[in-house]
Amino acid sequence: MAKTDGTGDYGTTAHATTTRISVEGHTTDSDSESAAVAAGLKHLENQEVKWYSYLLTVDFWAIIALGQILALCITGSNTFTSFLSSVNTIIPAFQTLFNYALLTIVYLPYTIYKHGWAKYRSILWRDGWKYFILSFFDVQGNYFTVLAYEYTNILSAQLLNFWAIVCVVILSFFFLKVRYRPVQIAGILICCGGMGVLLASDHINGTNGGNGKDMIKGDLFGLLGATLYGITNVYEEWFVSKRPMYEVLSFLGIFGVCINGVQAAIFDRSSFAGATWNGDVAGWLVGYTFCLFIFYSLVPLILRMGSAAIFDVNLLTANFWGVIIGTRVFGYTIHWMYPIAFVLIIFGMVVYFLAGTILGDSKKPWLGDNQKDGVAGLGTAKLKALNEARRKGLAREEEVAGEA
């Protein structure tokens, strides 16, 4: 799967003859770029590093910051959903429809502008089914997770979220050739331990939701939703490592509107009759859509800079932020175990990146040597290597050496 003529095939490779390739808005010589990437990666990976070196990089702190912004977005969307539920407006598929519509409105015109109609139609014809599958998993993950909260209690639903992390690790290992180091597994387990402390404090406070109306049914929905989320995250990480982020988001929006629209028409019709419709509800829907739009727009970046695993681990702090917001909105009280849980989750992410390379998880094993099958976009190891080569003047030296 090599991109040789700018028609949208997945990946880029160097050829003996000179070709032209598209790199997220920039056209470069493929042989020159391949040489520059190889030189840049070699220079970055040969730097003398200590066990804590990655923790001092901008990328590490950007991943932490992005993760917390995403967790706040999830908390915000959950808060607006709680407001809607409080007035009996329970329309899980319909309320998410606006997010997919906004993704389409923002990213589709830009994608067509960057690619042109001919190339866009070519991508849609050849790869549309792949994007449809991504959108289907994403829509169903949202839908079944909301259903789980309706039937089971909060504690059970949150515990099932751990399964998404397990799915991501397993799928990444078998399908994306990711090999986790022991320290990374330890970091993930520490984060899960922090989440366990947080759930334990909920149980002690009696805020786990009591008994659900159908615990088994709700747990099954939650398990299915978490599995679909795990699949979606891994699939999206694969996509954004090979394609421009705006393209992925535009197709996610288009097919999301279609799938979610059909689902809302079928399953949410009965809910419309008993729902409340007023100015407050409209404002809550706008807030919910805004939070999700920011969330979806930033997810590809953390998947490039980090991984699906570190993305899911970051989201464990959403429960902590939920309580912080709940103290102001719903009158919650903060248990003394909550700060401990938050610190454990952050500490787990620090452990995850110990003794790693200076590139962290941005270098993807499925992209081949020198990341030749990947796109040189924001947050990718390929772009970092190109920038390093240009900054150090390595590209020209490599080209001369190759010609000699």
63-102 residue pLDDT tens: 999 999 999 998 888 888 878 888 888 888 898 999 999 9
pLDDT at 282: 94
The number of CA neighbours under 13 Å toward the Cβ of 202 is 22
- Most confident of the ranges 54-58, 61-65, 266-270: 61-65
Residue 329 corresponds to which tokens in the numbers above? 């909105």
pLDDT at 25: 46
Contact at 8 Å (CB) between 102 and 293? yes
Q: Is pLDDT larger for residue 329 or for residue 8? A: 329
Q: Which residues contact 17 (CB under 8 A, 6 or more apart)?
A: none
**E-strand stretches of 178-261:** none
97-138 residue pLDDT tens: 999 999 999 999 999 999 999 999 999 999 999 999 999 999
**φ/ψ (deg, to 5) at 12:** -140, 140
345-396 residue pLDDT tens: 889 989 998 867 788 899 999 998 889 999 999 999 999 999 988 888 876 5
Going by C-alpha positions, the residue among 228, 80, 98, 249 that lies closest to residue 164 is: 228
pLDDT at 17: 34
Average pLDDT over residues 208-216: 62
Between CA 63 and CA 274 the distance in angstroms is 42
Q: Which residues contact 216 (CB under 8 A, 6 or more apart)?
A: none
Between CA 165 and CA 154 the distance in angstroms is 18
Q: Which residues contact 354 (CB under 8 A, 6 or more apart)?
A: 51, 52, 54, 55, 183, 187
pLDDT at 332: 66
Crossing angle between the packed helical segments 182-205 and 162-175, to the nearest 10 degrees: 160
Look at 42-46, 247-251, 393-397 and tell me which has the smallest mean pLDDT: 393-397
Between CA 147 and CA 267 the distance in angstroms is 11
pTM reported for the whole predicted model: 0.86
Going by C-alpha positions, the residue among 77, 363, 309 that lies closest to residue 191 is: 309
Contact at 8 Å (CB) between 48 and 249? no
- Helix (H) or strand (E) holding 369, with range, is none
Q: Is pLDDT larger for residue 337 or for residue 61? A: 61
Sign of CA dihedral 242, 247, 100, 279: positive
For residue 21, list its beta bridge partners: 28
pLDDT at 28 over 70: no
Domain boundaries, the chain: 55-386
Look at 221-225, 262-266, 308-312 and tell me which has the smallest mean pLDDT: 221-225
Look at 86-100, 123-137, 292-306, 326-340 and tell me which has the smallest mean pLDDT: 326-340
153-210 residue pLDDT tens: 665 666 666 788 989 999 999 999 999 999 999 999 998 888 788 777 766 766 555 5
Going by C-alpha positions, the residue among 147, 402, 122 that lies closest to residue 271 is: 147
- Most confident of the ranges 39-43, 86-90, 238-242: 238-242
Average pLDDT, the chain: 83
pLDDT at 160: 65
Residue 54 corresponds to which tokens in the numbers above? 């990655």
**φ/ψ (deg, to 5) at 184:** -70, -45
Between CA 130 and CA 25 the distance in angstroms is 23
The number of CA neighbours under 13 Å toward the Cβ of 43 is 21
Q: Is pLDDT larger for residue 41 or for residue 148? A: 41
pLDDT at 60 over 50: yes
Between CA 79 and CA 329 the distance in angstroms is 9
pLDDT at 143 over 90: no
Between CA 76 and CA 142 the distance in angstroms is 15
C-alpha 128 chain-centroid distance: 20
pLDDT at 355: 66
pLDDT at 366: 95
> What Rg do the C-alpha atoms of the chain give, in angstroms?
22
